[in-house]
A and B are shown apart, each in its own frame.
Chain A
Amino acid sequence: MSGPPWNRRDFLRFTGLALGAAGSVGFAACGEDDRAEVGVPDPRATPQRDRAILNGALTLENTAVAAYATGLPLLRGEVRRAAERFLGQEREHAVALARLVREMGGEPNRPKPPAEYRAAFPRLPDEAAFLRFASDLENVAIAAYAEGIPKLKDARLRKLTSTIFCDEAQHATVLLGASHHGDPRIAVPEPFVTGKVRA
C-alpha cells in the first residue's frame, strides 16, 4: 500500500492552513523611529483574529495527536516511550486550545475522522519513516506558532501559546536526536527557532 506523497503543501492543504511569508529572524525588524522604544502593537490584531489563530493551532494539534497514535505500533523502546509522552502532551495542548476558543465564543475545530488522517499521511513502513514524518510535522507546527504568536493581541494568549511552541520545539529536538544521535547542531539547529530548518 502506498500513501500520497508527503510534503508541506499537502499538509497545509489537508489542514486548511496557510502560512504567510517567512517572518524576520532575530529582533532587528523593530524599525528605526522613536516609537520603537515603547513598541507599536500590530494594528490588525483583534480578538477575532486571536480566536482564528488559536483554532488553526488546534487543527495542528489534532493532526499531531492522530499522527502519534498512528505511529505508535511501529515503535519500540525509548522512541516509543517518547512518542507516547508526546501524544499525551499534544492532547493536553488540544484540550487547552479548544477550551480557549470556546471561552472566546468560538466553535473549536474538531478532529477529522481517523481514516481521513490515515489517508493523508505518508506511507509509514518503519520507525525511521515515522521519525522523519513526525519531525516534519512538528516543524510545520513550530513554523505556524512562530508566525502566529506575534500576531496575537492578548498577552495571556501569547504566553500560553509560547509554552506550547517551546514544547513542540523540544519534541523536534528529541526526534532529531533519535535519528541523528549525539549531534547538537542537528538537534538544536537554529538560534531562533522558525521550524523552517530541517535535518
Chain B
Amino acid sequence: MTDRQTIERLLRVERGSVRLYEVILPELRGEARAAARHFLGQERRHVDALVLALRGMKVPVSDAVAPIPEPAGGARELIQVAIEHEQTCIRAYLSAQSSLKAPALLGGAAGAMATEAQQLAYLRGLLGDQPVPVAFVAGR
C-alpha cells in the first residue's frame, strides 16, 4: 500500500468521525455534549491535515466517507457508538504505522492516533467504565 492509499483510507475514516459527532452532538447534554463538540473540532482538524497531505502529493481528494455505526438510543447508547468508532479509528492508525513510509506522515498518524485514544478514555469515563483498561492500546 502506498502512502497515498493509506492517507486516503485514513481520510475516509476521519470523515466518518466528523459525520458521527455531527449526528450525535444535538442529542447529548452537559459534559457529554461538551466532549462531543470538542472532539468534533479535533476530528475536523484531522480531516484538514489529511487533505493537506494529499494536496501536497498533488493528487485528487475524494469526499468518500467510511461507513459509521447507526447512532440510536439515549445518551449512553450514543456514547457507546462513539467509543466503538474511536476504536475503529485507532485500528486504522495502527495499521497505518505499518504501511506509511514518510516520517512526517508517520508522525502525524501517531499524534492523531493518540488523540483518538484520549477521546476513547474520556468517553469511557463518561460511562463510568475503566478509562484505561489495557497497557497496549490497539483499539480492541
Contacts and interface: CB of A to CB of B under 8 A. Distances in A.
Nearest to A31: B56
Interface string B121-140: 11001000011101111100
A3 interface: no
A188 B38 contact: yes
Given A27-B49, A193-B118, A93 B135 contact: yes
B88 to A, nearest CB: 14
Interface centre among A40, A42, A191 (most CB of B within 10 A): A191
Interface size class of B (residues with CB under 8 A): 35 or more
Interface stretch (A52-60, A65-73, A159-167): A159-167
Interface string A59-99: 00000000000000000000000100110110011001000
A101 interface: no
B136 A39 contact: no
B35 interface: yes
Which secondary structure dominates chain B's binding surface? helix
A179 interface: no
Contact of B115 (A149, A163, A182, A193): A193
Interface string B42-67: 10011011101100111100000000
B3 A38 contact: yes
B102 A36 contact: yes
Contacts of A31: 56, 102, 104
A27 B132 contact: no
Interface of A: 23-32, 34, 36-42, 82, 85-86, 88-89, 92-93, 96, 142, 145-147, 149-151, 155-156, 158-160, 162-167, 169-174, 177, 182-185, 187-188, 190-194
30 contacts: A25-B108, A26-B45, A28-B56, A30-B53, A32-B57, A36-B57, A38-B2, A38-B4, A39-B101, A85-B132, A89-B135, A93-B135, A147-B107, A149-B106, A150-B110, A156-B98, A159-B98, A163-B136, A163-B137, A164-B135, A169-B114, A170-B118, A177-B122, A177-B125, A184-B39, A187-B122, A188-B39, A188-B119, A191-B112, A192-B111
